Amino acid sequence: MNSIQRKIWTLAAAVLFVMATIWIALTYYNQKTQDQYNAILQRYLHMNEVTNASQQTIAALNNYLQTPTQANLQQVDSNKGRLRTARQEVMDLRNAENDFALASYMNLIDSLVETTDRSILFLSEKETEESTSAFSEATRISKYISEMTLTLLDTELKTYDRFYRGIIEQSTELKKFGIWMLLSITFLLLFFTYWFSKSITRPVLKLTQAAKELSRGRFDLQVEVTSNDEISFLAKMFERMRVNINNLIQEIQQKAQLENELQQNKLMLQESQLRSLQSQINPHFLFNTLDTLSKKAYLEGSEETSDLLANVAGLLRYNLKRLDRSVTLYDEVKVLRQYMEIQKARFTDRLHFHADINEWCLYVELPGMTLQPIVENAVIHAVEPLEDGGTIEFTIADNGERVRIEISDNGPGMPQSKIKEILEERAEQTEGHSTGIGFGNVVRRLRIFYGREDVIEIESAPELGTKVILLIPKARRSKKDDQTSDRG
């Protein structure tokens, strides 16, 4: 739910409630006080009314005695009525303090009425003397009533003295109360507002800080907001986002690292291999000696030996020169023929070599010393161990995008495990290889050179021989690869 809204509503409701309570209390209090004041005033007014009515009655009576007309008589009667009403009202004012005085007071009023009546009666009977005397008595009684009123008021003041003082005290207290209430409500409101605003702004502040950290790129700080409103929800979402981003970044970093490592491995492998290859041959001395031997053999008339030695020297020179750079297929084929010459010299009739070469394909580039180790491998496994020898067929064919090079023998074949080992570049057997470069090395170099895996295939079946197929792309994939490979 909208808990921030709810919080605001709660605060507003609380304030409203407090104000309403105060208003009701004060109104009630005010009403009560007002009622009291009214009651008190009523008492005084009632008593005063008696005095007034009695005086009016006397005045009317006087008028009537002077000029006894019906109108004046009515005047007297109406005043008497007023006096009686006043008497009724005064009766309600009875309390313990003025009980006796009030009883006398009412009797005085009765006496006044009676005396008035008597005066009028005497007048109607033409007894003027009596009438006048009754009138003077009525006047006296009226005076007594006035005095009694004062006495009663006095008593009233005495009786209510404590009460009046109480009212005054209470009104002073009320003033104090107002001040206290104002102060406490102010403070209370300040306190609650502070607390309330804090409960809203604190999470927001935390969230802001978390956002700041995130924007700076720190994804490892946990976003933690403890509140029970929307901000907390926002923070939770934020936290989830942070975790996700964090995970993504880590993934990317891992990948990058992995790739980097891979690249480096490859480079290192190349370098180390090339170095090791180079170090295996002591080139100058060896082929100089071989040249000398070849010349010597030629001079001695052993042309065959001389050729053989020349071939060996050529092979070695090639080996030395070409290992670290790309060569054309032409060069490779050339050195391959030299090698086969050497081997023919060795195996004579046991080795049959057939080559079928498409001359148009000889321009393609490939790493040096690629074909020789493969053919050598075939010689080692398919010719050397067999008494009858073997046949090695070498084919170069145009295969569209690629140049297809096939080297097949009719030897005992290669077990599948071995093929797998070679293709996965795990095998490193150099035993028996003249150049110290094994099959596995060739595969690796080929793949690195072309930057692709599918450059070599091996087909083999027991007793049917082995066929190694190289699929050399006609164009190198990129310049960069070239440079990289040239670097060694």
Partner 1 sequence: MSKAFSFVFGIVCVIMLTFTLISADKVFRAGPELPKTVDRKQAEYHLVLITQELETPFWDKVAKGAKEEADKRGSSVEVWGSYSKDQEDFLKKLEIAIDSKVDGIIVQGLDTPDFKELTKIKAAFYGIPILTVANDVPMADSLRRTYVGSDQFLAGQMIARQLLSDMGSSGTVVLMGDSREEYYQQQRVNGIMDVLKRYPDVKTEYAETIESREMIIAATQDVLNRQPDVNAFIAVNANIADAMVQEIGRRSQVAPYHIYSFDDSKDTMSLLKAGKLDGIIEQSPEEMGRLGVKLIIEWLRGDTVPLDTDGYLTEIRMLKATDAA
- Output the six-digit token pair for 199: 């409960």
Under rule CB under 8 A, residue 162 binds partner 1: yes
Q: In the complex, what is the shortest distance from the CB of residue 61 to partner 1, in angstroms, rounded to a whole number? A: 16
Under rule CB under 8 A, residue 176 binds partner 1: yes
Q: In the complex, what is the shortest distance from the CB of residue 231 to partner 1, in angstroms, rounded to a whole number? A: 18
> Of 107, 136, 265, 276, which lies in the binding site for partner 1, with binding defined by CB under 8 A?
107
Question: What distance, in Å, lies between the first and last C-alpha atoms of the chain?
Answer: 70
The residues with which 465 forms a beta bridge, in sequence order, are 461
Q: What are phi and psi of 95, to 5 degrees?
A: -145, 175
- Let me know: does 396 contact 408? Beta carbons within 8 Å: no
**Nearer to partner 1 by C-beta: 101 or 355?**
101
Q: In the complex, what is the shortest distance from the CB of residue 122 to partner 1, in angstroms, rounded to a whole number? A: 14
> Of 17, 23, 37, 195, which lies in the binding site for partner 1, with binding defined by CB under 8 A?
195
Under rule CB under 8 A, residue 108 binds partner 1: yes
Q: In the complex, what is the shortest distance from the CB of residue 178 to partner 1, in angstroms, rounded to a whole number? A: 9
Scanning 156-164, 208-216, 420-428, 456-464 for contacts with partner 1 by CB under 8 A, the matching segment is: 156-164
Residues 129 and 327: their CA atoms lie apart, in Å, by 173
**Nearer to partner 1 by C-beta: 109 or 443?**
109
> Of 12, 45, 94, 478, which lies in the binding site for partner 1, with binding defined by CB under 8 A?
94
Under rule CB under 8 A, residue 155 binds partner 1: no
Q: Determine the size of the site formed for partner 1 (CB under 8 A).
A: 51
Pairing of strands 465-473, 456-461: antiparallel
Q: In the complex, what is the shortest distance from the CB of residue 80 to partner 1, in angstroms, rounded to a whole number? A: 16
**Nearer to partner 1 by C-beta: 143 or 296?**
143
**Nearer to partner 1 by C-beta: 99 or 251?**
99
- Let me know: does 232 contact 204? Beta carbons within 8 Å: no
Q: Which positions from 26 through 55 interact with partner 1, judged by CB under 8 A?
A: 29, 36, 39-40
Binding mask 239-268 for partner 1 (x = CB under 8 A): ------------------------------
**Nearer to partner 1 by C-beta: 40 or 269?**
40
Residues 468 and 374: their CA atoms lie apart, in Å, by 8
Scanning 91-99, 292-300, 443-451, 472-480 for contacts with partner 1 by CB under 8 A, the matching segment is: 91-99
> Of 125, 127, 154, 169, which lies in the binding site for partner 1, with binding defined by CB under 8 A?
169
Residues at the interface with partner 1 (CB under 8 A): 25, 29, 36, 39-40, 92-97, 99-101, 103-105, 107-108, 110-112, 140-141, 144, 147-148, 159-160, 162-163, 165-167, 169-170, 173-174, 176-177, 180-181, 183-184, 187-188, 190-191, 194-195, 198
